Structure 1
Amino acid sequence: MPTYHLVICLILVLNCLEGSSSWSTSREPVVAFTAKLSKDTTVRGHGIVKYDSVITNIGRAYNPKSGIFTAPYDGLYTITGTLMSLPSNSVHLRINKNGQKMSLLYSASKTYPQSGQTLHLLLNKGDRIWIQNANPQTAKLHDHGSYNLFSVILVHVTHV
């Protein structure tokens, strides 16, 4: 049996033994999404990146038309963003929570560097997360469905 199957079995057994634990998977709502860019994309100055190819959207908290994730529950969330720009430009993208910068992604010009950030944030129901161009000039992102991702998962609900 592969190691990950053993780990999953152990977690399930521990959850059963804990019974009343708030970490029990049987009571936790599931919220998770991952979206990527399907093609090279130009984002206007300070514009929100709209990740158009949705891989997963459990809980439907991500809106691909706006590029915004809205937290459906109070809880601890893991947010991940990755970036690769075209060699013709350097790019700074901001990961925002309700308009406040939480982190930056950077990709230099004249090469194909990739960068990524992962954040663990406490969010309140209704908080909004998005990734946007941090600069006033347009940003040219390089992609063919692999390099530029935006992903959020609910790790634990703090209030229902």
Structure 2
Amino acid sequence: MYFEVIFLVLLGSTFSEECSHPSIIKKTKTEVDFLSKRLTALQGKLSFCKGEPPVSSYTAFTATLSTNGAALSYGGIVKYSRVLANIGDCYDSGTGVFTVKTSGVYSVSASMMTPPNKSSHLALMKNGQDLVWLYTAGPHDMASQTVNVALSKGDKLWIQVQSGSRLHGVQFYNVFAAALIRPGYF
């Protein structure tokens, strides 16, 4: 009713005596109803936009190995100790584990390089389950994986050794990273 009154007031200057005809009033009421519904829909979209989580809930991290590389043991977690970014403080370089604080869709990446005459097989793990694997077999071979995955608060991700003995010692080749793309439940 409120929107109808506003609409009629705005259009009031264009109405004259002949505008009191029932068909014109009915047409105007139909237009007001349509515009009222459209306004309500737009207000809902605006509320959704305003309802985005605060900046503090966003999460992103990137970590690499130290310059010494990493010795690997079967079943062990690779600890990426050189942290380039840790927005939201969700990555623990001491354990190598990323813990989700904000539910949503994440982009998660890992890359690896092995030194000459070595091979390695790593897995990106989510709560103890394999998501994707990385494998290298030749001198200075590289592997990388990127997945977009829905994660819930409290989920844990890490890179686990499946086989192999060493990752290359140049820090820039071995990376573990994740970023929240869209908060929410999916």
TM-score (norm 1): 0.80
User: How far did 1:21 drift?
Assistant: 3.6
Residue in structure 1 matched with residue 167 of structure 2 by the alignment? 141
1:65 aligned residue (87, 90, 94): 94
Q: Choose 1 or 2 for highest CA Rg.
A: 2
1:100 aligned residue (129, 135, 144): 129
1:34 aligned residue (37, 43, 62): 62
Q: Residues 23 and 85 from structure 1, CA distance in 2 versus in 1: closer, same or farther, beyond 3 angstroms?
A: farther
**Deviation by residue 1:92-148 (Cα, 9 ceiling, x = unmatched):** 000000000000011113x1111100011111100000001012xx52000322100
Identity of aligned residues (%): 35
1:55 aligned residue (84, 90, 101): 84
Aligned residues of 2:59 and 2:102 also touching (Cα < 8 A): no
Rounded Cα–Cα distance in structure 2 between residues aligned with 1:120 and 1:69: 15
Q: Residues 24 and 147 from structure 1, CA distance in 2 versus in 1: closer, same or farther, beyond 3 angstroms?
A: farther
Q: Residues 22 and 113 from structure 1, CA distance in 2 versus in 1: closer, same or farther, beyond 3 angstroms?
A: farther
**Deviation by residue 1:12-49 (Cα, 9 ceiling, x = unmatched):** xxxxxx63345976745320000000222101111100
Rounded Cα–Cα distance in structure 1 between residues aligned with 2:158 and 2:147: 13
Rounded Cα–Cα distance in structure 1 between residues aligned with 2:110 and 2:180: 15
- Name the structure with the higher helix share: 2
Aligned residues of 2:62 and 2:176 also touching (Cα < 8 A): yes
Count the aligned residue pairs. 139
- Name the structure with the higher strand share: 1
Q: Which runs of 5+ in 1 are unaligned?
A: 1-17
Rounded Cα–Cα distance in structure 2 between residues aligned with 1:95 and 1:106: 11
Which structure is higher in RCO with an 8 Å CA cutoff and minimum separation 6?
1
Secondary structure (helix, strand or coil) at the match of 1:105 reads strand
> Does residue 1:156 correspond to 2:182, yes or no?
yes
